[in-house]
Amino acid sequence: MSEISSNTNKYLGILGRQPKISLAELEAVFGSHNVEQIDHELALITTSQTPDVQRLGGTQKIARVLDRSPLDYLFSLPHGKLTIGISDYRRHATKATAQNEALKLKKQLVREGYSARIIPNQSAILSTATSHHNKLGLSLNKIELIYDDRFTAISIGAQNITAYARRDQARPARDARVGMLPPKLAQILINLAANGKPDGRILDPFCGTGVVLQESLLMGYSAYGTDLEPRMIEMSQKNLDWLLQGRNGSHTRDFANRDNEDEIRGRYPRRTSAVTTRTRTTEPRDGGREGVVREGNVKDFVLEVGDAETHQWTGEITAVATETYLGQAFSAPPSDAKLREVKHVTKAIITGFLKNIHPQIDKGTQLALAIPAWRRPDGRYEHLKILDELDRLGYNVVKYRNLESSDLLYHREDQIVAREILVLRSK
């Protein structure tokens, strides 16, 4: 990623539930030296770009650091009705400190002729759902102030959790037996692999039902998906056809990341014909906001049946983002013998894929792989011992400033098979 210009701003990123993964994604997008973890839940981002929270699967909110007091900022706004929420990350913050701060601001605003509505706090921090449903940060008169011991910032948006849920649950082809890759995790994998590249072609060699391909298209990349099972390619085709449904389609809000429906309405691409090779590529014409599939910037996609251990991919591969074969699902920790069996199979498939693709990609190409890790009866996770083989396969593990590469474990409390994220660079 090129050095940022002197015309920079500072932003606070509100990290997700697995903050180390959030930090890695921010470093990939903005550059390691432009990201600093300042709290368990907060990162400081220095950039000349305006961060788009809808392209960051691991960041719940983005806020611009103010160079003046919150009251001075509020007094600079046009008179009218303001909606104000407070998220207080200061060391001794409570629900009461946040609410008192909001009421104090309201009292001073009313004195100056403003009308103000306060978002009630259930805790010191407003949830992403509260921020999203109140559309805080999306206009001048809907404001969320973020307090930290070092900074005060104003939100420029929260993740559109409604759109994520729709994109996940409304896709026509779903199969719980092959696992359900969350769209947020797909975005994270894409960002870790693309490493700041704003466009290009993302390959998913274990594409399943096409979640990575879906998110790649929404983020402005071309997508290339292969899978061993023809049934999975058929499901991906159905889901991508659904994604690219005509401008008058019934589900346009199902995959939009934006809250402003008037701006979104009517801007979706016309329906493309069903393909198993490639749709036409169109060039951007409207300079519109990123994060929404719209007419004029829809990229192409390719779908092919292929074994990741032997397949020969064609054309450009900018980056590889994929959830590899995770092995069978377990409802309880497997026995030692069963785990050895599953590890042997999954390791063979993953190393076979890495060996196969290496001569097909350029030096420096990055791969973000979600590989399995298994929770044992004592609560620790057993990892797939693959690191020792990466050097001979032609890869280096990508390193980060704010975390160790071994910190990238994506899991839920009740999950037996977790996803360990492995970010590699071809050498």
Place 412 in a pLDDT band, splitting at 50, 70 and 90. confident
CB atoms within 10 A of CB 238: 16
Pair 188, 68 in one domain: no
Phi, psi angle pair for 387, to nearest 5°: -60, -35
Tokens, residue 299: 């990229």
Of 159, 190, 207, which residue sits at a domain end? 159
Instruction: Tell me, yes or no, whether 4 lies in a domain.
Output: no
The reported pLDDT for the residue numbered 280 is: 31
Rounded Cα–Cα distance for residues 263 and 253 (Å): 12
The domain of 27 spans 9-159
Could you tell me where the DSSP H helices lie in 68-160?
70-75, 95-111, 128-133
**Is residue 253 classed as helix, strand or coil in its secondary structure?**
helix
Pair 133, 183 in one domain: no
Instruction: Tell me, yes or no, whether 365 lies in a domain.
Output: yes
Rounded Cα–Cα distance for residues 9 and 21 (Å): 23
Instruction: Tell me, yes or no, whether 165 lies in a domain.
Output: no
Number of domains in the chain: 2
DSSP-derived secondary structure letter, 334: P
Q: What is the pLDDT averaged over residues 36-53?
A: 95
Place 5 in a pLDDT band, splitting at 50, 70 and 90. very low
pLDDT value at 289 more than 50: no
Q: Residue 47: which residues within 8 A CB-CB, separation 6 or more?
A: 4, 8, 9, 11, 30, 34
**Is residue 201 classed as helix, strand or coil in its secondary structure?**
strand
Tokens, residue 291: 């994060």
Interval 318-369: pLDDT, tens: 999 999 999 988 989 999 999 999 999 999 999 999 999 999 999 999 999 9
Pair 68, 198 in one domain: no
Taking Cα atoms as reference points, which of 329, 322, 343, 325 lies closest to residue 417? Answer: 329
CB 256 within 8 A of CB 217: no
CATH of the domain at 32: 3.30.2130
Pair 233, 104 in one domain: no
Q: What Rg do the C-alpha atoms of the chain give, in angstroms?
A: 23
Pair 190, 51 in one domain: no
Long-range Cβ pairs for the range 247-252 (8 Å, 24+):
247/295, 251/166, 251/170
Pair 273, 124 in one domain: no
Instruction: Tell me, yes or no, whether 189 lies in a domain.
Output: yes
Of 92, 127, 159, which residue sits at a domain end? 159
Instruction: Tell me, yes or no, whether 271 lies in a domain.
Output: yes
Rounded Cα–Cα distance for residues 386 and 394 (Å): 13
Instruction: Tell me, yes or no, whether 89 lies in a domain.
Output: yes
Pair 129, 187 in one domain: no
Pair 126, 181 in one domain: no
Residue reference for tokens 């594409």 = 207
Phi, psi angle pair for 345, to nearest 5°: -70, -50
Rounded Cα–Cα distance for residues 196 and 10 (Å): 18
Of 114, 130, 159, which residue sits at a domain end? 159
Pair 239, 280 in one domain: yes
Q: Percent of the chain scored above 90 by pLDDT?
A: 77
Instruction: Tell me, yes or no, whether 70 lies in a domain.
Output: yes
Q: What is the pLDDT averaged over residues 256-276?
A: 33
CB 423 within 8 A of CB 367: yes
Pair 258, 140 in one domain: no
The reported pLDDT for the residue numbered 299 is: 64
Rounded Cα–Cα distance for residues 87 and 217 (Å): 33
Question: Is the pTM value of this prediction over 0.85?
Answer: yes
Taking Cα atoms as reference points, which of 193, 222, 226 lies closest to residue 283? Answer: 222
Instruction: Tell me, yes or no, whether 166 lies in a domain.
Output: no
Rounded Cα–Cα distance for residues 155 and 14 (Å): 10
Pair 416, 311 in one domain: yes
CB atoms within 10 A of CB 416: 18
